[in-house]
Amino acid sequence: MIVQLRAVSKSFGDRLAVDALSLDVPAGICFGLLGPNGAGKTTTLRMIYGVTRPNSGAIQVFGLDISRNPRAVRARLGVTLQQNVLIEALTPEENLRVFGRYHLLREPELSRRIGEVIDFLELGSHAKMPVRQLSGGFQRRLAIALSLMNRPELLILDEPTTGLDPAVRLALWSRIRELRAAGTTVLVTTHYMDEAQRLCDRVAIVLAGKVVEEGPPADLIAAHLAPEAVELDCSPDEEAALLAGDSPSLRRLRVGNRVTFYLDNAAPLIEQIRRQDRGRHRPLVVRPTNLEDIFLALTGTSLEAGL
Ligand SMILES: Nc1ncnc2c1ncn2[C@@H]1O[C@H](COP(=O)(O)OP(=O)(O)OP(=O)(O)O)[C@@H](O)[C@H]1O
Ligand SMILES: [Mg+2]
């Protein structure tokens, strides 16, 4: 295991942010840490790279106890924080130079690595303007470039794509895939479930500081909900009428007026909806059940038939 947490807890005052959390991240995969705001993801990552100390439990990174070997561990990992840490008055190139020196890189290797990460994240066109003049997306790319300067074996990314436009997001995920293919282990948090489903080999869903589910996205989906989802706007009475037939225990999720039904076969329900429509023809969405459904089912809102 590249990262191993055993019964790790962390409190801030009387608030328990991480609650006896255990986690195994195997080598060479992209592992997603998912969970609602305040679930304890950032706190967990901070403990893994050794800037926050747990109150109890054990953390090993590369098989080393992080509290005893913080320097040895940090030399081998790269971190992009939820908030960018950049020197605004300097250019991207200068930021990379400062950070490379922190990692004790010397010329000509230092310049070689700077060129490498600038190319990798396509920062070339903006490499010589002060960071404060860069758009949010370029600043984020620079933050990720910084975390790659030491060619880390483990890359920790806390919400790397929040606030990025769709094209840059896609480009970034493809870069992360390349890193993984080259053997880098990636530990990432994201609130985009489509992204997590596409990119992560395994995910852990964290709720109130505890892992409530862990595994490959497809396995989690199959374990919790039927494979077909039907979404439509309907009142609670209409919903009850739809369920009165042959599927009273159908799992479903209501958010406001929008209901999603989960079924093995959507066809009979669609017929029932059309009968109820009586010419209205409400728009429906029929789609495969996805990781976002599982996230919502596990983390709350009102999944009425429960799990
Ligand atoms: N330095 C701190 N002092 C006090 N409380 C903190 C501190 N850091 C985190 N917390 C609390 O710990 C809990 C977990 O926070 P954390 O930042 O780990 O959540 P998160 O899962 O990363 O959330 P988000 O998705 O919003 O980034 C929250 O209740 C938060 O308020
Ligand atoms: Mg966070």
How do residues 193-218 score in pLDDT, each as one tens digit? Answer: 999 999 999 999 999 999 999 999 99
Quote the ligand 2 centre to 40 CA distance (angstroms): 7
The predicted pLDDT at position 163 comes to: 79
Quote the ligand 2 centre to 199 CA distance (angstroms): 19
The answer to whether residues 97 and 156 belong to one domain is: yes
Q: What does the pLDDT look like over 263-296, one tens digit per residue?
A: 999 999 999 899 888 888 889 999 999 999 999 9
The answer to whether residues 211 and 259 belong to one domain is: no
Q: Decide: 9 in ligand 1 pocket, CB within 6 A.
A: no
Q: Is residue 240 part of a domain?
A: yes
The answer to whether residues 112 and 160 belong to one domain is: yes
Q: How far is CA 240 from CA 37, 252, 255, 256, 306, in A?
A: 32, 11, 15, 15, 16
Best residue for ligand 1 mutational test, from 8, 42, 212 (most atoms within 8 Å of Cβ): 42
Q: Are strands 302-303 and 251-255 parallel, antiparallel or unpaired?
A: antiparallel
User: Taking the CA of residue 11 as centre, how many other CA atoms within 13 Å lie in the half-sphere pointing to its CB?
Assistant: 6
Q: Is residue 295 part of a domain?
A: no
Q: Which of 195, 221, 247 is the last residue of a domain?
A: 221
Contact (Cβ atoms closer than 8 angstroms) between residue 262 and residue 251: yes
Q: Is residue 298 part of a domain?
A: no
Quote the ligand 2 centre to 79 CA distance (angstroms): 13
3-state secondary structure of 101: helix
Q: Which of 206, 221, 236 is the last residue of a domain?
A: 221
Q: Decide: 53 in ligand 1 pocket, CB within 6 A.
A: no
The answer to whether residues 248 and 166 belong to one domain is: no
Nearest ligand, measured from the Cα of 12: 1
> Of 228, 212, 215, nearest to 298 (Cα)?
212
Q: Is residue 126 part of a domain?
A: yes
Q: 39 pLDDT band (50/70/90 cuts)?
A: very high
The answer to whether residues 187 and 248 belong to one domain is: no
The answer to whether residues 202 and 278 belong to one domain is: no
The answer to whether residues 147 and 60 belong to one domain is: yes
Contact (Cβ atoms closer than 8 angstroms) between residue 67 and residue 28: no
- The domain that holds 144 is classified in CATH as 3.40.50.300
Query: In this structure, which residues have their CB less than 5 angstroms from ion ligand 2?
Result: 41-42, 82
The answer to whether residues 210 and 236 belong to one domain is: no
Q: Is residue 294 part of a domain?
A: no
Q: Which protein residue has the closest C-alpha to ligand 1 atom 5? A: 12
Q: Decide: 51 in ligand 1 pocket, CB within 6 A.
A: no
Which atom in ligand 1 lies closest to the alpha carbon of residue 82?
27
Mean pLDDT of 164-191: 92
Integer Cα distance of 293 and 273 in angstroms: 21
The answer to whether residues 138 and 207 belong to one domain is: yes
Best residue for ligand 1 mutational test, from 41, 47, 157 (most atoms within 8 Å of Cβ): 41
Domain count, the chain: 2
18-27, 84-93, 237-246, 276-285: range with lowest mean pLDDT: 237-246
Which atom in ligand 1 lies closest to the alpha carbon of residue 209?
14
The answer to whether residues 198 and 243 belong to one domain is: no
- The domain that holds 276 is classified in CATH as 3.30.70
Q: Decide: 299 in ligand 1 pocket, CB within 6 A.
A: no
Nearest ligand, measured from the Cα of 38: 1
The answer to whether residues 189 and 240 belong to one domain is: no
Q: Specify the pTM.
A: 0.92
The answer to whether residues 15 and 90 belong to one domain is: yes
Locate all alpha helices (DSSP H) within 149-299, ordered by sequence: 166-181, 193-199, 217-224, 236-243, 267-277, 291-299
Q: Decide: 209 in ligand 1 pocket, CB within 6 A.
A: no
Residues of the domain holding 261: 226-288
Q: What does the pLDDT look like over 109-167, one tens digit per residue?
A: 999 999 999 999 999 999 999 999 999 889 999 999 999 999 999 999 999 998 788 88
